[in-house]
A and B are shown apart, each in its own frame.
Chain A
Amino acid sequence: MLEVKGLHAGYGVVEVLRGIDMAVSRGEIVAVLGANGVGKTTLNKVFSGVIPAWAGEILFEGQRIDRATPDAIVAAGLIHVPEGRKIFPNMTVRENLELGSYRRGKPRRARNLEHVFSVFPRLRERSAQAAGTLSGGEQQMLAIGRGMMAEPNLLILDEPSLGLSPLLVEEMFTLIRRLNADGLPILLVEQNVVQSLEIASRAYILENGLFALSGSAAEVSGNPELRRAYLGM
């Protein structure tokens, strides 16, 4: 459902992505892994139209979206849960979730809100609280819940485990697996190589703006290069 061909992008004169080819199919969890600063977030921002592609094609459900505006991309159902959560700190948890359906899913807002609250009971308890006062883990739940409010066809999660305690990280990965089991395709962008490979069906390893390695999660995790570079084995 997501197809990327020869994608280049960057900032100013600095090229960050230097020819990305990848795909996500229905029902998958696909992991994009790589160290800090290799361009994972840049890739996500290009997908959601926040920064322009320099060259190449992005197709989402058969439609070119590499020239589309961010709101048109949201309307198409490609929903990005950004790194650092980017929730609205001055607004209540409920308002944050309601704004999740600003562009898409508005007619079923009440029903989807119930659904998010059933997935994240913590958010229901805190629904009247200012989002900025939530703990890190709760903020991550809110960011994902806000994304779910838009009825995503594909959910991009950018470093959902960043800054969480090991216990919460475990919980977060369980949750991602559960969302996927309910039929939601997920593009999981992470530095946490081990746990991401456990739940992903396929993975891409990003290095220097190019995929150094890709394949099924089993292939990738068995690769000796990867084991040495990322797992220290």
Chain B
Amino acid sequence: MYSPAIVAEAMVNGLMTGAAYALVALGLTLVYGVLHIVNFAHGALLTCAMFAVLGMEQGLGIGPYAAILPLGVLFFLLGYALQRYVIGPSSHGEDRNTLLVTLGISIVLENALLAAFRSDTRTLGGDMGFDVVELGPMLLSRPRLVGCAVALVVAALLWLLLARSDTGRAIRAVAKERFGAQVVGIDPRHIFAVTFGIGCACLAVAACLLLPTFYVNPRVGNAFVLVAFTIVVLGGMGSVVGALVGGLVIGVVESLGGLLLGESLGQLGIFLIFILVLLLRPTGLFGARA
């Protein structure tokens, strides 16, 4: 069988990938938990963010880590505007409209990217993707290690924001009781847009962390969002802690699955979990029971 060192390395690698997955899932679960919509544009927005990281590097010479802050802010503003001025007004308060609108946005974005960049697969220049750190007997990828650390910090900051700030309280308030929020002077349209903006900022950060070890093409976001959906279901729809834990678990499952079954079957475990959770515990690990 496999030596413990190899299994341990696979697990740590999985944790690191899982942290990036968690960021993608955080945005999805937050938007679902507060706006009660499944954002079908999430994958396309992630793809946009990944192209933006590429553009920052190739156009402006700004590396992916230096791009975290500016792209995070840019995507927050983008997400804010998208929800406030496009998705919100066009939904007329009906969730199924929102569904179609986000689906429409994803189609527009994907095709715009296809028109601009063809379906070629691109990567960042340089060889930072191959940097490794020695940790005891394990060889760990440096960009993934950095990615994991940053993802955990971002998740912690998000948790603090939600738990401690007035904006975070307003987000939680609007999620459960919109009219009650209005009578204390919270503007739900603003809070929805802020939430959507935070979701997009998470994507931008995830894109910065992914690109050193991953490629980008106009469809790449969808693969992540499929995994992110599994994480959201596993962790519990709307749960921030659930998204983080779920992301880490899924990362490890995928990595161990890859080790045992080979790369191409590695994701099998993820979808097995998806089905098992739906069968046994549809509210997820941290979801509120109805």
- Which residues of A are interface residues toward B (Cβ below 8 A)? 48, 50, 69-71, 74-75, 79-82, 85-91, 95, 98-100, 102-104, 106, 146-147, 150
Closest to A44 in B: B183
B180 at the interface (CB under 8 A from A): yes
Closest to B188 in A: A70
Judge whether A102 and B177 touch: CB under 8 Å.
Answer: no
Nearest-Cβ distance from residue B166 to partner chain A, whole angstroms: 6
Select the residue from A79, A99, A100 with max chain B CB neighbours within 10 A: A99
- Residues of B within 8 Å of A, CB-based: how many? 18
Nearest-Cβ distance from residue B152 to partner chain A, whole angstroms: 25
**Residues A90 and B187 in contact in the complex (CB < 8 Å), given A48-B182, A82-B179, A82-B180:** no
A100 to B182, alpha carbons, bound, how many Å?
Answer: 10
B113 at the interface (CB under 8 A from A): no
- Which residues of B are interface residues toward A (Cβ below 8 A)? 166, 169-170, 172-173, 175-177, 179-187, 288
- Within the complex, which residue of A50, A95, A102, A146 is in contact with B179, where a contact is CB–CB below 8 Å? A50
A227 to B183, alpha carbons, bound, how many Å?
Answer: 34
Nearest-Cβ distance from residue A85 to partner chain B, whole angstroms: 8
- Interface pairs (21), CB distance under 8 Å: A69-B187, A70-B182, A70-B183, A74-B184, A74-B185, A79-B183, A81-B183, A82-B180, A87-B180, A88-B172, A89-B176, A89-B177, A91-B172, A98-B169, A99-B181, A100-B184, A103-B186, A104-B185, A146-B184, A147-B183, A150-B184
Question: A residues within 8 A CB of B181?
Answer: 88, 99
**Residues A90 and B176 in contact in the complex (CB < 8 Å), given A95-B169, A99-B170, A102-B170:** yes
Judge whether B176 and A99 touch: CB under 8 Å.
Answer: no
Nearest-Cβ distance from residue B217 to partner chain A, whole angstroms: 41
Question: A residues within 8 A CB of B184?
Answer: 74, 99-100, 102-103, 146, 150
- Within the complex, which residue of B170, B175, B187 is in contact with A70, where a contact is CB–CB below 8 Å? B187
- Within the complex, which residue of A50, A69, A88 is in contact with B177, where a contact is CB–CB below 8 Å? A88
A103 to B170, alpha carbons, bound, how many Å?
Answer: 11
**Residues A99 and B187 in contact in the complex (CB < 8 Å), given A50-B182, A86-B177, A89-B176:** no
A163 to B179, alpha carbons, bound, how many Å?
Answer: 20
- Within the complex, which residue of B166, B172, B175 is in contact with A102, where a contact is CB–CB below 8 Å? B166
6 further contact pairs, Cβ within 8 A, besides A50-B182, A86-B180: A82-B183, A88-B176, A90-B172, A90-B176, A91-B173, A91-B176
**Residues A91 and B169 in contact in the complex (CB < 8 Å), given A71-B187, A86-B177:** yes
Question: A residues within 8 A CB of B173?
Answer: 88, 91, 99
> Closest 7 CB pairs between A and B?
A103-B185, A74-B185, A86-B180, A71-B185, A70-B182, A80-B183, A88-B173
Closest to A109 in B: B166
Select the residue from B169, B173, B177 with max chain A CB neighbours within 10 A: B177
Question: B residues within 8 A CB of A71?
Answer: 182, 185-187
